């Protein structure tokens, strides 16, 4: 396994992160425990979850949230594992029907952290991530609450997810005024077919030394050989079928290139992310052990400059960073 620093911090994480959104919903507990065992054996030390993962992600549904954390907690309770992993979770989304059961008030941050610690059966969270920006709560309030968690030893690093570039800049400017480290990482939607963050988010991350953790690295299956699988009559969701038709021409070129390289499309998609110096660790979300072990191949895939140029031709980005991408 390869390891790298999480942004400008001294923390070392594996180049692939284990995403656990499927645990408890698409993947039952037995299979989830096996996946975590195999991931740890393979050297993956970065485990990512969220308080809402494991169900419909709605507090109106019985047992629709917290399940993924609970499964991880039972795995950790078996002993000998907690200090071998970097444990990341998130808060923001509704965890109840009350007006303060969501978002990023100091009130909810305290309660959400305590609830996650209980479900995870641990006394600390290594990376506590804000799942979305909350522009209705002042940054002084957010950072004061996070600083308290750090002082109490309940949280070590703070991360964001789905932040705009200016949100990152605002957060860091306030953190600096409080002599606080601020954000260590940002978890964003980023893959060959979704490159919008190249405009402003990635430049902001580079400037502030914040690690990039891409989610949906294979585009919810689009970049995982979707066209080939469709021709083999494998079932796909209605959304994926729609996206296949939308990107059919690109997929034909992409999958032909992957065949020429002798690599699986999903591995090429992950390898493309790993070639970007801004990327810390893409989050993979295996539904079974086979998908997990298959993803490890991406760490060995080397893409030539010519291949990288061809991928840019097939899946063009926004043209680089703003404003040069669209103005002089």
The residues annotated with a catalytic role in the active site are: 53
SS (H, E, C) 227-246: HHHHHCCCCCCHHHHHHHHH
- Poorest-pLDDT segment among 130-139, 147-156, 225-234: 225-234
Q: Determine, yes or no, domain membership for 255.
A: no
- Alpha-carbon span 238 to 109, nearest angstrom: 36
pLDDT tens digits along 244-283: 999 999 999 999 999 999 999 999 999 999 999 999 999 9
Q: Which pTM does this prediction carry?
A: 0.95
Q: Determine, yes or no, domain membership for 94.
A: yes
Q: Determine, yes or no, domain membership for 125.
A: yes
Q: Determine, yes or no, domain membership for 260.
A: no
Q: How many CB atoms lie within 10 A of CB 55?
A: 16
Q: Determine, yes or no, domain membership for 247.
A: no
| Confidence tier at 79 by pLDDT (50, 70, 90) | very high
Q: Determine, yes or no, domain membership for 245.
A: no
- Alpha-carbon span 138 to 178, nearest angstrom: 14
Which residue is associated with the tokens 């006394």? 123
CATH number of the domain within which 99 lies? 3.20.20.100
Please give the span between the terminal C-alpha atoms of the chain, in angstroms, as a whole number: 42
Structural domain for 148, as ranges: 3-224+265-303
Cis peptide before 53 (omega within 30 of 0): no
Q: How many CB atoms lie within 10 A of CB 172?
A: 20
Count of domains for the chain: 1
Q: How many CB atoms lie within 10 A of CB 196?
A: 13
Looking only at the bridges linking them, the beta strands covering 46-48 and 86-91 are parallel
Q: Determine, yes or no, domain membership for 246.
A: no
Q: Determine, yes or no, domain membership for 195.
A: yes
pLDDT tens digits along 96-107: 989 999 999 999
């Amino acid at each position: 396994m390869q390891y790298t620093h999480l942004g400008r911090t001294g923390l070392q994480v594996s180049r692939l992160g284990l995403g656990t959104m499927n645990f408890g919903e698409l993947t039952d507990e037995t299979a989830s425990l096996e996946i975590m065992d195999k991931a740890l054996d393979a050297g993956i030390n970065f485990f990512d979850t969220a308080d809402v993962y494991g169900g419909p992600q709605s507090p109106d549904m019985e047992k629709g949230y917290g399940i993924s954390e609970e499964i991880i907690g039972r795995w950790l309770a078996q002993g000998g594992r907690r200090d071998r992993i970097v444990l990341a979770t998130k808060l923001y989304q509704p965890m109840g029907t009350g007006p303060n059961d969501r978002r990023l008030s100091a009130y909810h941050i305290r309660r959400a952290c305590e609830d996650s610690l209980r479900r995870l059966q641990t006394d600390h969270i290594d990376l506590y991530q804000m799942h979305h920006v909350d522009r209705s709560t002042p940054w002084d309030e957010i950072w004061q609450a996070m600083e308290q968690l750090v002082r109490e030893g309940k949280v070590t690093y703070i991360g964001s997810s789905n932040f705009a570039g200016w949100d990152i800049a605002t957060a860091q400017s306030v953190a600096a005024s409080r002599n606080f480290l601020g954000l260590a990482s940002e978890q964003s939607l980023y893959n060959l077919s979704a490159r919008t963050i190249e405009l402003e988010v990635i430049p902001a991350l580079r400037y502030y030394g914040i690690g990039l953790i891409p989610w949906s690295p294979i585009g919810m299956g689009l970049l995982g050989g979707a066209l080939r699988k469709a021709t083999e009559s494998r079932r796909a969701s209605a959304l994926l079928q729609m996206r296949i038709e939308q990107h059919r021409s690109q997929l034909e070129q992409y999958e032909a290139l992957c065949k020429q390289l002798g690599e699986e499309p999903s591995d090429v998609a992950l390898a493309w992310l790993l070639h970007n110096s801004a990327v810390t660790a893409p989050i993979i979300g295996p539904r079974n052990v086979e998908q997990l072990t298959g993803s490890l191949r991406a760490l060995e895939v080397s893409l030539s400059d010519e291949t990288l140029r061809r991928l840019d031709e097939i899946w063009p980005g926004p043209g680089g960073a703003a404003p040069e991408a669209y103005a002089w």
